[in-house]
Amino acid sequence: MYTSTAKTLTALALASLAAACSSTPPAAPMPASAPAAPQLQAYDWDLAAAFDSRNQPATQWQLPGQKPARLHFAGQRVAVQNLCNAASAGYRLDGERLQVERPMSTLRACAEPGLMQLEQRVLQQLPQAQRYTLQGGAETPRLVLHFADGSRWEMAGTPTPETRFGAAGERMFLEVAPQRVACNHPLMPQAQCLRVRDVHYGDNGVRQSVGEWRIFHGEIEGYQHEAGMRNVLRLQRYPATRPGQPQPADAPRHAYLLDMVVETERVAP
């Protein structure tokens, strides 16, 4: 039997929480803006360096041992990632001018020292953005955000999965069994594979049905399986080859990227 140790919110519940439990009331819709620069949405932007109004390095925006704050632009919203809570804000572009709404976020407490304080500083700073510039080429893009107080952030770009795979992803949920099982692999005679089954949720976030257990060949990017743990994962599935490219006969048809761990339980020995 399963012994529950922790359960996180389902994706749908998290989305509702982000809207209902934000730290600030929802702002009025922003005026329509020109389409975002394609390069802005083609990359995830990690904070690489920060400078104050005197062009001196500002160290209060990063914590030792923690991933840097990341911005993800999609549609007319920018998500703030790698901090404590799920947070996002509307934004508007006018040439190189940038206007960001006050972000909304969930209200989860974080145990990591200083992380919540860093998150508060980041979310308070973003609405002070006035303009942006894009530098570098496709291999080493750089986003520079300029703020009203004269400070700036320099952010390094990493291609989004849509950019990497050349197509939009498909959201799906997989339940991963606690133990790997023996499986056939042409290059690994003693291969151990994940065992998974599909999970389907209703619009209200309640589990509706599950599929049959099956062997999962390959790995899920961003997921580290721990023996004895049963997990439900929210994934994005992408075609493994870009449009127009031939599909190798022995290659997987899809690539799977972890979006969120929805549930986790430890199996009693």
- Its pTM stands at 0.74
Q: Which amino acid is present at 17?
A: L
**What are the structural domains of the chain?**
31-159 (2.40.128.270), 165-267 (no CATH)
User: What would the pLDDT profile of 61-104 be if each residue is shown by its tens digit?
Assistant: 999 989 999 999 998 999 999 999 989 999 999 999 999 999 99
Q: Which amino acid is present at 37?
A: A
Segment 132-135 long-range contacts (CB within 8 Å, at least 24 positions apart): 132/40, 132/96, 132/98, 133/96, 134/37, 134/39, 134/40
**Is the alpha carbon torsion for 223, 227, 233, 235 positive or negative?**
positive
* Spatial separation of the C-alpha atoms in residues 236 and 171, rounded to whole Å: 5
Which has the closest alpha carbon to 31: 99, 129, 80, 79?
A: 99
Which has the closest alpha carbon to 153: 163, 145, 161?
A: 145
CA distances from 67 to 83, 135, 152 (A): 8, 22, 19
Q: Are the C-beta atoms of residues 107 and 86 closer than 8 Å to each other?
A: no
pLDDT at 216 over 70: yes
Per-residue pLDDT, 243: 65
What residues does 104 pair with on adjacent strands?
88
- Grouping H, G, I as helix, E, B as strand and the rest as coil, residue 84 is coil
- Grouping H, G, I as helix, E, B as strand and the rest as coil, residue 12 is helix
Band of residue 138 on the pLDDT scale cut at 50, 70, 90: confident
Give the start-end residues of each E strand in the chain: 2-7, 43-51, 70-74, 77-81, 87-94, 97-100, 104-105, 129-135, 142-147, 152-159, 170-176, 181-182, 192-201, 207-210, 214-216, 229-239, 254-267
pLDDT at 24 over 60: no
End-to-end CA distance of the chain: 9
* Degrees, nearest 5: CA angle 233-116-147: 105
* Spatial separation of the C-alpha atoms in residues 30 and 127, rounded to whole Å: 13
* Spatial separation of the C-alpha atoms in residues 157 and 162, rounded to whole Å: 14
Please count the other Cβ atoms lying within 10 Å of the Cβ belonging to residue 239.
17
Span 194-216, mean pLDDT? 95
Maximum C-alpha span of the chain? 61
pLDDT at 160 over 90: yes
Per-residue pLDDT, 231: 97
Q: Are the C-beta atoms of residues 269 and 4 closer than 8 Å to each other?
A: no
Span 198-208, mean pLDDT? 93
* Spatial separation of the C-alpha atoms in residues 85 and 155, rounded to whole Å: 20
CA distances from 13 to 4, 174, 194, 202, 258 (A): 19, 17, 27, 11, 18
